[in-house]
Chain A
Amino acid sequence: DADVTQTPRNRITKTGKRIMLECSQTKGHDRMYWYRQDPGLGLQLIYYSFDVKDINKGEISDGYSVSRQAQAKFSLSLESAIPNQTALYFCATSDLRGQGNQPQHFGDGTRLSIL
């Protein structure tokens, strides 16, 4: 979905480095999410934000932090990367209306490899 843009698309880095993944959206949605995808495990929620002042931990937040700089921007940081954080990372957005009935719209993902 071109309305949700993730940068970079691919990143290779070394253990111990700090990494930031960025997400921006033009959909005007209040809610933004970061997921991690590993083969055979589906997507797991790392962090989510319902507005600029609201940040919540997901299922697997350890080792990650986030910043909601504006309604349209939500970044994910790995303070000290480790090899088992090698994965495909997705940002998603959803509309506030309708509570749980609104689908989420995904970016194309960031493939992160930590050596």
Chain B
Amino acid sequence: AQSVTQLDSHVSVSEGTPVLLRCNYSSSYSPSLFWYVQHPNKGLQLLLKYTSAATLVKGINGFEAEFKKSETSFHLTKPSAHMSDAAEYFCVVSDPSRGGKLIFGQGTELSVKP
């Protein structure tokens, strides 16, 4: 069965410092993995997706994630946090055995201090 675990429920960084949001996955298949961001009172927006083409995936707003099969990880990073990055982030795996249904992690809330 597919699953994802986000290792931190809350991360706090200062503006201009690096961001690291951690995600481990479990999959019986070659997984499709996504990171979504949710700003207050808004829906989820796709940041980036991994579908086996390249292990380092670049997304929107300067975010990127690296797929590491040996560590079953898909951590999200950004070199320099901006105040507008404060939001909730979800790591998500797609289950191809069930028509691409998404399985969500519990979410990581990112706070950015001035």
Contact = CB atoms under 8 A, between A and B. Distances in A.
Interface in B41-59: 41-46, 49, 51
Nearest to B48: A103
A43 interface: yes
Nearest to B4: A42
Chain A interface bracket (under 10, 10 to 19, 20 to 34, 35 or more) = 20 to 34
Q: In the complex, which range does the number of interface residues on chain B fall in?
A: 20 to 34
Contact of A106 (B41, B44, B96, B106): B44
Given A100-B96, A101-B94, A40 B43 contact: no
Contact of A42 (B49, B100, B105): B105
Nearest to B34: A103
Contact of B46 (A33, A58, A103, A109): A103
A43 to B, nearest CB: 5
Nearest to B6: A42
Nearest to B94: A100
